[in-house]
Structure 1
Amino acid sequence: MNRISVMKPWLGTAESEALAEVVASGWVAQGPRTAAFEEAFAQHQHVRHAVAASSCTTALQLALIVAGVKSGDDVVVPSFSFIATANAPTYLGARPVFADVESATGNVTADAVERVLTNKTTAIIAVDQGGMPLDLEPLRRMCDERGIALVEDAACAAGSTYMGAPVGGGADVSAWSFHPRKLLTTGEGGMLTTNNPDWASRARRLREHAMDVSAAERHGSTLAPQEHYGEVGYNFRMTDLQAAVGLVQLAKLDEMVQRRRELASRYRAAFHDVSGLRCAQDPEYGTSNFQSFWIEVLPEFRMDREHLLEKLAADEISARRGIMAAHQQQAYAGHSGISAPLPVTERLTANTLILPLYHELAEHEQDRVISSVLNAGGE
């Protein structure tokens, strides 16, 4: 049997041709394609400004900087997330304070965040985990009442919706990932989005060493203007090679979301009556792009999560353990800022797994995955 991967990016001839055009143009660093990608992404996400970056992690770091987070501050984050969510405030000398998540979506709630707020909290990072939209409005109200910045880590969520609109627009600033595990990929790369023009302008400067003259302005002039550096910046730029791929991928995003939702529906239908399995599903306030399709393996199931992973692997099916708990990692042992129990986080981390789901997954391949899971449960 052929191995079924947990994820494959949907790349083809159109992306190859876009790359060839950039190479032929001679402008492969950050330039006109990047600007076009930013404009197109902002329009797709219904926000005013988009700033391309080298990764979601660097975009998240820029988001915290422009939101005013500084060394010594506390930033509330979910532990139930890839470790980059906690790393971004740590890079700035701020302390990640871990909040628990709700079972249904794996996302933080306003109640969970409120339990861990401190007098040093200046920002909250709320994550759309696995593409599952978070309930933003209660967080928005809480942040507005307290003067706290609301940052959305939408790394996985391009194509997900909240209250009928694309996710990300309701936060003060959001960060996005274009890693190959995501629907829309540029190989590596990320994006910051915001409706605040001053924050967008500063993020553009900071990603390019804080120069007051952009590379496009310098290279577009025969006599380049003298640049100045008003603060310490970073090299967080995206290349035009990446942006060219991103433009093609963005045009395919709606089709990718539709296909993933169809496949997710097939999984849910197959496992609906299986005792001991709980599937990810849309919350009442939004729709997921199903960047990941995860299931929770409950005690009633015949196998625990680890043995089910082994069974799938024996059937040449590559699944993955569910989302990590950052507070359990050595990197944050002893200085993580934990101030509340995290029982849901620890349960989901221990008992969830991610099943194969990608645009070109054939239904007969998905049926193999379904059969393997059902056989493991004795169905």
Structure 2
Amino acid sequence: MSRLNVMQPWLGSAEVEAVTAVIESGWVAQGPRVAEFERLFAAQQQAEHAVAVSSCTAALHLGLLVAGVGEGDDVVVPSFSFIATANAATYVGARPVFADVDPVTGNLTAETVATALTDRTRAVVLVDQGGVPADLDAVRAVCDPRGVVVLEDAACAAGATYRGRPVGAGADIAAWSFHPRKILTTGEGGMITTSRADWAERARRLREHAMSVSAAARHATVLASPEEYAEVGFNFRMTDLQAAVGIVQLGRLPEVVARRRELAASYAKAIHEISGLRPVTDPEHGTSNFQSYWVEVGDDYPTDREGLLARLAEADISARRGIMAAHRQPAHAHVGAHLPVTDLLTDRTLILPLFHQMSESDQARVLEVLRHDR
């Protein structure tokens, strides 16, 4: 029996042809394909502006910078997230303040955010964990009157919906990931979407060393005008090679999400009949793309999370421990936090295999192990 991976990107000949065309064009750095990818992604997500960058971490970093977050500010973040969410606050000189999450969705709520706000809070990073949409409107109702910016960390959420619209459509600013674990991938890469032209314009400069004229614009002229650097910027560019893959992947997104939701429904139907396991589900306010299909292992299941992971590994099935808790990592342990729900979910959840090419027999292998421990 072959190994069953937790995730597998869906890439094919169309991506190969797109990359080949870029190579043959002679322009492989940030250029026309990146601009096209930005335009198409903004349209897909119903956003005013999109700025492609090298990673979602870079998108979070620039997003906080253009929103005016800096030294001495507090940024409320979930600990129940990949560590990049908290790291981004430290990059701009701010202090991450950890808030707890909802026990069902794994997302921040208006209540948990309100508890974590301080007099120095300048921003909240609201994560759509595993592709489950967070309740943006409820959190903004707490933050907007206080002048606190809500940056939506939609790293996992391409293809998810919130109140009938694409996730991120109602955010002032959002950050996206195209890592291979995500359902829309460019290998590495990220995107900022925003409703504010001034934020988008500054992000475009900052991603390219804060040059006053982009490298693509300079290359388009025989005698390039001299550039200026008004502030310290970064090298956070996406290449046209990556963007070419992203354009193809974006066209596949509806099909990929539909397949993932079909597989998630099959998982849920079977797991609901297994005592002691609770699968992730859609919240009332939206639909998940099920970028990560996680399950909570309860007290009445015959083994704990670690035992179940071991049983899956014995069957050559690669599952993963659930979302990490950043406040328990040495890098952020000095911040301090009492987060009982985060601790519980971090210790009791695991991510099951789910990918577009997954067959019924693949899924049956996973479910057989889950039932065997019953």
TM-score scaled by length of structure 2: 0.99
In structure 1, the partner of 2:168 is 168
Equivalent position SS for 1:330: coil
Match of 2:354 among 349, 354, 357: 357
Q: Give CA deviations for 1:232-253 in whole Å, capped at 9, x if unaligned.
A: 1100000000000000000000
- Say if 2:100 is the partner of 1:103: no
Contact 1:140–1:171 (Cα < 8 Å) also in 2: no
Aligned-partner residue type, residue 343 of structure 1: P
Matched residue, 1:316: 316
Q: Does 1:144 pair with 2:148?
A: no
**How far apart are residue 144 of structure 1 and its match?**
1.1
Residue 370 (structure 2) pairs with residue 342 (structure 1): no
2:90 is equivalent to residue 90 of structure 1:
yes
Which amino acid in the other structure matches residue 339 of structure 2?
A: L
1:115 match: secondary structure: helix
Residues 296 and 322 of structure 1, relative CA distance in 2, 3 Å threshold: same
User: How many aligned positions are there?
Assistant: 374
Match of 2:184 in 1: 184
In structure 2, what is the equivalent of residue 77 of structure 1?
77
| 2:293 partner amino acid | F
Alpha-carbon separation, structure 1, partners of 2:206 and 2:361: 48
Distance in 2 (CA, whole Å) between partners of 1:263 and 1:255 is 12
Q: How far apart are the structure 2 equivalents of 1:171 and 1:48? A: 10
Q: Residue 116 of structure 1: CA displacement?
A: 1.1
State the one-letter code of the partner of 1:366.
Answer: Q
Conservation of the 8 A alpha-carbon contact between 1:157 and 1:289: yes
Aligned-partner residue type, residue 360 of structure 1: Q
For residues 7-26 of structure 1, what are the structure 2 equivalents within 5 Å? 7-26=7-26
Residue deviations 1:117-175 (CA, integer Å, cap 9, x gap): 11110000000000000011111111111000010000000000000000112222100
Aligned partners of 2:313, 2:21: CA distance in 1, in Å? 41
Measured in 1, the distance between the counterparts of 2:359 and 2:219 equals 47
Matches within 5 A, 1:294-333: 294-333=294-333
> What's the counterpart of residue 39 of structure 2?
39
Once residues 88 and 101 of structure 2 are traced to their aligned partners in structure 1, the CA distance between those partners, rounded to angstroms, is: 19
The answer on whether the counterparts of 1:178 and 1:189 sit within 8 Å (CA) in structure 2 is yes
Q: Give the Cα–Cα distance (whole angstroms) in 2 for the partners of residues 337 and 76 of structure 1.
A: 13
Q: Which amino acid aligns with 1:106?
A: G
Inter-partner Cα distance in structure 1 for 2:86 and 2:248: 31
Q: Distance in 1 between matches of 2:367 and 2:333?
A: 38
Identify the residue that residue 117 of structure 1 maps to in structure 2: 117
Structure 1 residue runs of 4+, over 6 Å off?
A: none
Write the letter of the residue equivalent to 1:74.
D
**CA distance in structure 2 between the partners assigned to 1:337 and 1:116 by the alignment:** 12
Contact 1:176–1:192, Cα closer than 8 Å, also in 2: yes
Amino acid paired to 1:349: T
- The two structures have a TM-score, normalised by structure 1, of 0.98
TM-align CA RMSD? 0.6
For residues 270-307 of structure 1, the C-alpha deviation after alignment (integer angstroms, 9 at most, x for no partner) is: 11121100000001110000000000000000010000
Q: CA deviation at 1:215?
A: 1.2
What SS does the aligned partner of 2:19 have? helix
Deviation of residue 227 (structure 1)?
A: 0.7
Q: Is the 8 A contact 1:95 1:337 kept in 2?
A: no
* Other structure's SS at 2:152 match: strand
Q: Distance in 1 between matches of 2:198 and 2:93?
A: 23
What is the CA-CA distance between 1:194 and the residue it aligns to? Answer: 0.2
Task: Return the match for 1:374 from 360, 371, 374.
Answer: 371
Gaps of 5+ in 1: none
Shift of 1:337: 5.3
- Give the partner amino acid of 1:144: D
| In structure 2, C-alpha distance between the alignment counterparts of 1:107 and 1:150, rounded to whole Å | 14
- Deviation digits for residues 290-326 of structure 1, max 9, x if unmatched? 0000000000000100000000000110000000000
